[in-house]
A and B are shown apart, each in its own frame.
Chain A
Amino acid sequence: MLAKRIIPCLDVKDGQVVKGVQFRNHEVVGEIIALAERYRDEGADELVFYDITASSDGRSVDRSWISRIAAVLDIPFCVAGGIRSLDEARQVLANGADKISINSPALENPDLIDRLAAEFGNQCVVAGIDSRREGDDWYVYQYTGDETRTKATRRRTLDWAQEVVTRGAGEIVLNCMNQDGMRQGYDVEQLRAVRERVSVPLIASGGAGALEHFAAAFREARVDGALAASVFHKQVLTVGEVKSYLRDQGIAVRL
């Protein structure tokens, strides 16, 4: 049976792992390789590394750490951050990343998704979507790595989710911004709405703080994976604790 995935997310800024609250006030939480190894040893199914300043600074991801990660990790990992061209994506993949995730550049130039999927296959193209509730709908945000440059797009999240899949994204990571870093639970309602629209794997992101939050995302929103950062970085929970709990709840996990 295909296992539900637990995915620690490491936000990388200036070569260190940082974490903010609702995408603001970042503090340093550790060194990249040490944290990557810790999560691997705890049983993480996959890791995501976001260079959170890359897109808002208009530069591409600093790649010196990707091959170092590839050398130590025996689980898949995804790299995100300002990948704007086929050449940049090729370099990231050649350095050992299994997937690339694109977010702001896809909003600038949606055709990039088509070209990346055609060149590398949709299995390694992940669309990251930063989404916030406004009234009774959800809208996509751009350049969320830098609070001074974050901007609302006029795109509805449900429309954009459908579009990225049509263009060839093989997976969606939905960052529910209202919940980010709050540890109050995933936005199950929003995740469920996106789940009903798209058939590709959907990864919940933003809000994990307790064991029940993971179970709710899997059970009520039928997501394929749950991404979390601060709850793991601050050692509120370990990946192993989450997976043992999920197994006891009857949810298929790799232990």
Chain B
Amino acid sequence: MIVLVDSGVANLASVVAALRRLGAEPVVSAEAEVLKKADRVILPGVGAAAAAMAQIRDKNLIEPLRGLTQPVLGICLGMQLLFEGSDESGGTDGLGILPGRVELLPASSDTPVPHMGWNQLDIVAPAHPLLRDVAHGAYVYYVHSYAAPVSPVTVASTRYGAPFTAVAAQRNFMGCQFHPERSGDVGSRILRNFLEL
């Protein structure tokens, strides 16, 4: 059973559709017991970090999420929430599962923020199974203003002005800063890899 965490602010429809295209039938839930029993958990997210964390806190999901031992995939904001905190909206705590803090992307005239569109993956750790059969330089779809700096949990980065963490992984927790559900064949491959972990 694959469970999508209903944080109340995520665009779940496109993730649900992407998983269905792969033959999975995801369950959407905000119940700790349902999450605990899942084979895999996906934490999607669109919107602001503080609002999403407030929802997770209100639903008493902070400890249950931290305690998950099955494969967990955070997508976009969902990935950012796995870190210790984010500088968004004056600063907010994250789940603290992955080390490091999410920062605003540096804007310039060549790199307006939000970073929006298709950009390339530089694969740092090709051995990671989440990126099996994903080519160096493959394009994935981004829509975000904040990102985690490159760190020891980075398994792929993307350059936009400076490099940032595109894919992070530590133990059973993984995250994609881009939207695999909107990243064509490359994104489908990554979701399929996650389902086959």
Contacts and interface: CB of A to CB of B under 8 A. Distances in A.
Given A1-B120, A123-B145, A76 B182 contact: yes
A197 B24 CA distance: 46
A121 interface: yes
Interface stretch (A90-98, A211-219, A226-234): A90-98
A224 interface: yes
Interface of A: 1-3, 5, 40, 45, 67, 70-72, 74-76, 93-96, 98, 120-124, 170-171, 199-201, 224-225, 254
30 contacts: A1-B119, A1-B120, A1-B159, A2-B115, A2-B117, A2-B119, A3-B117, A3-B139, A5-B117, A45-B118, A67-B13, A70-B17, A71-B20, A72-B21, A74-B181, A74-B184, A74-B185, A74-B187, A75-B182, A76-B141, A94-B11, A98-B11, A98-B14, A120-B47, A121-B114, A123-B144, A123-B145, A170-B114, A200-B112, A254-B118
Given A67-B13, A124-B143, A201 B112 contact: yes
A171 B116 contact: yes
Contacts, number: 83
A96 B13 contact: yes
B188 interface: yes
B47 A95 contact: no
B89 to A, nearest CB: 12
Q: Bin the interface of chain B by size.
A: 35 or more
SS class, residues of chain A in contact with chain B: loop
A199 to B, nearest CB: 5
A76 B114 CA distance: 16
B117 A45 contact: yes
A118 B103 CA distance: 20
Contacts of B187: 74
A214 B62 CA distance: 49
Contacts of B134: none
A75 B139 contact: no
Given A2-B160, A3-B118, A75-B184, A98 B17 contact: no
B119 to A, nearest CB: 5
B55 interface: no
Given A74-B182, A98-B182, 19 more contacts: A3-B139, A5-B117, A70-B14, A70-B17, A72-B21, A74-B184, A74-B185, A76-B143, A95-B13, A96-B11, A96-B13, A98-B11, A122-B114, A123-B145, A199-B109, A200-B112, A201-B117, A254-B118, A254-B139
Interface of B: 11, 13-14, 17-18, 20-21, 46-48, 109, 111-112, 114-120, 139, 141, 143-145, 159-160, 179, 181-185, 187-188
Given A67-B13, A96-B13, A74 B18 contact: yes
Between B47, B111, B187, the greatest number of chain A beta carbons within 10 A of the residue's beta carbon is seen for: B47
B48 A121 contact: yes
B48 to A, nearest CB: 7
B135 to A, nearest CB: 12
B21 A74 contact: yes
Contact of A71 (B11, B17, B47, B159): B17
A76 B21 CA distance: 15
Given A2-B160, A3-B118, A71-B17, A199 B112 contact: yes
Given A3-B139, A74-B187, A120-B47, A94 B118 contact: no
A90 to B, nearest CB: 11
B11 A93 contact: yes
B111 to A, nearest CB: 8
A97 to B, nearest CB: 9
Nearest to B14: A96
A171 B187 CA distance: 24
Given A96-B17, A98-B11, A123 B116 contact: yes
Nearest to A170: B114
